[in-house]
Chains A and B, each alone.
Chain A
Amino acid sequence: MLEKLVIVGNGMAPGRMLEHLIEKAPSRYQVTIFNAEPRVNYDRIMLSPVLSGEKDYEEIIIHGDGWYIKNGITLYKGHKIVAIDRAARAVTSNHGVVAHYDKLVIATGSSPLILPVPGNTLAGVLTYRDLDDVQAMMLAAQSRAKAVVIGGGLLGLEAAAGLNERGMDVTVLHLMPTLMERQLDPAAGYLLQRELEKRGIKIITRANTKAIIGERRVEGVELADGRVIPATLVVMAAGIRPNAALAKDAGIDINRGILVSEGMRTSDPDIYAIGECAEVGGHVYGLVAPLYEMARVAASHLAGDNAPRFAHSDTPTKLKVTGIDVFSVGDFADNDDGERQEIVLRDASAGVYKRLVLKDNRIIGTVLYGETGDGAWFNDLKKKAVDITEMRDTLIFGQAYQGGSPLDPMAAVAALPDDAEICGCNGVCKGKIIGAIEEKGLTSLDDVRAHTKASASCGSCTGLVEQVMKLALGDTYNPVAVQPMCSCTSLGHDDVRRLIKAKGLKTIPAVMQELEWKTSCGCAKCRQALNYYLVCDWPGEYADDYQSRFINERVHANIQKDGTYSVVPRMWGGVTSAKELRAIADVVDKFQIPTVKVTGGQRIDMLGIRKQDLPAVWADLGKAGFVSGHAYAKGLRTVKTCVGSEWCRFGTQDSTGLGIRIEKFMWGSWTPAKVKMAVSGCPRNCAEATCKDVGVICVDSGFEIHFGGAAGLDIKGTEVLGLARSEDEALEVIVALTQMYREQGRYLERIYKWAKRIGVAEIRRQVLEDVERRRTYFDRFVASQRYAQVDPWSERACGKDAHEFRPMATVGLAVAAE
């Protein structure tokens, strides 16, 4: 029978431990995991890029649901273990699930310190620990109001930079005189502070928090010197504390953390502890490299190999704020013993500071700011205690200067020994990466990450990994290459769009010829993209190529899994009438349509229509005044509205009227991906305009225009473009915005992704602030609508493309009927 292994906690350390264990002893244990968070294992180091908007949650998942299923692991999500019964060898969750174990691993991680000051439980006080915290911060950031971050360490500064990136007015309160004083010396701390201040983050050092003030919600933070900093959001990032209470209650020895041996065993030999909750050799750890080392040791012991021991080593610190390069490792306290020497390099104009601390001609500490490329090399020299006497004069300039070799980053990577560590998080050395590339024939960064884990955690060594790949693969690997549109071309979407305009290419064959397509007539990916680009760029001149459109856009209905179609007529602004509803009812009866459903976009969907019936269905709907709702199109879908000032006691403007006006103005236009809009009559936002591609919130003073929301695969609130004073102005801004997106978006790229690429500020400048420019976008849209606003349903009801809806022939069916 399998032994039962129960794991309390599902963070990065136990996740990594399981990977090792599955490799070493795949069928030894029946594994059960309890995760207090209601989700799978994700990369906590990457929460900062999620907060700043550079990554999505999906991109930081380490083990998806499928991984647990594939490996036969039972994962209880949202179950917190409340008790360990060591006599019965069982654990109990807060939902009453009891699991028995032969071996137990405690990986409860750590909790943020909550300052013991008045007001610390007010609404609006958050910590920075897990995805829930990040989502709460992202929600709070939408108000664009003031935030205070307490704590100027690694986590606090990443939180501050993320909130600043999201448009909040951020103040950092730090108790000590310089930022990150545990990881940086004062000089580097000063440079860091100056850089953050340049980005608009206010920093108050020597700030002693006295109280958090507010009635029901946070209103500000009061300092010991009497100053009050107004804030609607307070993030506590003043440190972490190992979660050892569960172990303590079970009678397991603890100190600051759960005490474990170098084999990760607690005082109970059947119970292990790993991760931030564990204390080994007098240290508790917060950076991922030693936690992964614990995971490796624990997995070996669980697999029956008791040889590996955990050994302390210094882990380099890196700050994950885009554009700020900081590196430090080892001992760099100011010298007082007379035995230490240091080498310092400063370049004020370039904002570079480098400091090496030496003892007995060996590096014992390194602090780098602004230029961190040699961090790995310095760390390697430190680890191996290399005597640097010979290269002392040029040491600070880095590896490229040693031995008179030219200043070439590739040469520097080439010169690294095979055992030089490239990825600190996962302990991957250069030799392992090169070995994997050669043995397994890897060619892409993703492959290397999958096979070696190099740069798969915090990602800060990605550049270095790419250099190693270039070294191994030669010129065949080009890390800065743009992603081609598809395998038919080496050009990316942006180049293709630019060249279509620059060379005046007006047909798909012309594009393929002039841009040297590698296939004779493209593929399903590039043909659809090219057709859109040509429709958009040459309105009235380009003849739409229906054979390059997806079936839905070719037959103007939505294909379903059984090959039937669904049909959604336009209901302007979601408003309908008895006559329209009666016409729909008649069509449903006449064609025996099996399912009628109200859509999320305030219209009615008829599902299960046979293809050959479509033209007749449209003819009947057309008689009642219906036109296509384009529910199948990469184009304008719906404009959802609330009833607005016409009926609602809170309505500030005629939101229904504006919605209908926008829809009537813009229907029929093709866009890179679908466009859904909404107009809400007041900030209560009943039309849910703040998760749409384009949304309007009516206010007394006018129309607040939003864009770049998403509520599908991704969930994202909109960005505020600005305020329009009149309906006319609102329409003009929305149309200009859409046209800018039409001209610049990559095929299938939704507005929010396009906006992330272009930048909200740039879009605002072009379609809101620059009135001339807005007008030219508007005019181009209007010109293109002359050719686009043709109802495709009435055309087909009148016989266009009849071949699409009829079989070419029916042969020998009499035989078949027998």
Chain B
Amino acid sequence: MNWIPIGQLSDIPSRGARCVNTPAGRIAVFRTADDRVFAIDDHCPHKGGPLSQGIVHGAAVTCPLHNWVISLETGKALGADEGAVRTIPVKVEDGRLFIALDAVSNKAA
């Protein structure tokens, strides 16, 4: 896998998210209360809301537009809603963050 550096863990507030612009579209990188990191498309499967701006709780985020709750681990909508977003491989090494876009198709076309 081709790991691309995107910044430091400390760049993201705990229970928050930051965006990374990539050729595969805008990706939201989340940091949970227990410092786990997840990356998913910044695009709610419901109406395209920016998930990076939602409230992070546990390993899930609530979309700011219509309150869908998306699992950060699977990218799937939780509860009664159905839909999913892509998850993107992400890793933390010595406080540095990397994502891998190999497996992700090019969405910018």
Contacts from A to B (Cβ < 8 Å): 519-524, 527-528, 546-552, 554-555, 559, 561, 563, 803, 807-813, 815-816
Contact = CB atoms under 8 A, between A and B. Distances in A.
A809 B20 contact: yes
6 contacts: A519-B57, A521-B58, A524-B57, A547-B55, A563-B48, A809-B6
A547 B21 contact: no
A547 B15 contact: yes
A521 B61 CA distance: 12
B13 A812 contact: no
A808 to B, nearest CB: 4
Contacts of B26: 807
B3 to A, nearest CB: 11
A554 B22 CA distance: 25
Contacts of B49: 563
A241 to B, nearest CB: 48
Contacts of B34: 520
A812 B22 contact: yes
Contact of A561 (B7, B54, B65, B67): B65
A632 to B, nearest CB: 11
B62 A524 contact: yes
Contact of B20 (A523, A527, A810): A810
Contact of B18 (A521, A548, A803): A803
A507 to B, nearest CB: 13
Nearest to A520: B58
Given A521-B15, A803-B18, A527 B29 contact: no
B83 interface: no
Contacts of A549: 55
A808 B29 contact: yes
Nearest to B66: A561
A554 B101 CA distance: 30
Given A524-B67, A527-B57, A808-B6, 16 more contacts: A519-B58, A520-B33, A528-B55, A548-B15, A550-B55, A551-B64, A563-B53, A803-B11, A803-B12, A807-B19, A808-B11, A808-B18, A808-B19, A809-B5, A810-B21, A811-B22
B104 to A, nearest CB: 11
B19 A561 contact: no
Contact of B101 (A550, A559, A808, A812): A812
Contact of B62 (A523, A554, A563): A523
Contacts of B11: 803, 808
Residue with the greatest number of chain B CB neighbours at <10 A, chosen from A519, A561, A809, A816 = A809
A550 B108 CA distance: 30
B72 interface: no
A550 B62 CA distance: 10
A810 B48 CA distance: 20
A807 B50 CA distance: 13
Nearest to B97: A808
Contact of B21 (A552, A554, A803, A807): A807
A82 B26 CA distance: 61
A812 B23 contact: yes
A549 B48 CA distance: 21
A748 to B, nearest CB: 13
A521 B4 contact: no
A568 B108 CA distance: 33
Contacts of A527: 55, 57
Given A527-B55, A563-B50, A807 B18 contact: yes
Contacts of A810: 20-22
Nearest to B8: A808
Contact of B53 (A528, A551, A809, A815): A551
Given A559-B64, A815-B23, A816-B108, A808 B12 contact: yes
B74 interface: no
Contacts of B87: none
Given A528-B55, A808-B20, A550 B64 contact: yes
A111 B13 CA distance: 66
B75 interface: no
B65 A559 contact: yes
B45 interface: no
Nearest to A488: B57
B7 A522 contact: no
Contacts of B101: 811-812
Contacts of A803: 11-13, 18
Contacts of B47: 561
A803 B23 CA distance: 22
Interface in B47-94: 47-50, 53-58, 62, 64-65, 67, 69
Contact of A547 (B7, B14, B20): B14
A389 to B, nearest CB: 57
Contacts of B56: 547
A812 B5 CA distance: 11
A522 B57 contact: yes
A810 B20 CA distance: 6
A812 B11 CA distance: 20
Contacts of B5: 809
A811 B20 CA distance: 7
A549 B35 CA distance: 20
B54 A551 contact: yes
Contacts of B16: 547
Nearest to A549: B55
A807 B55 contact: no
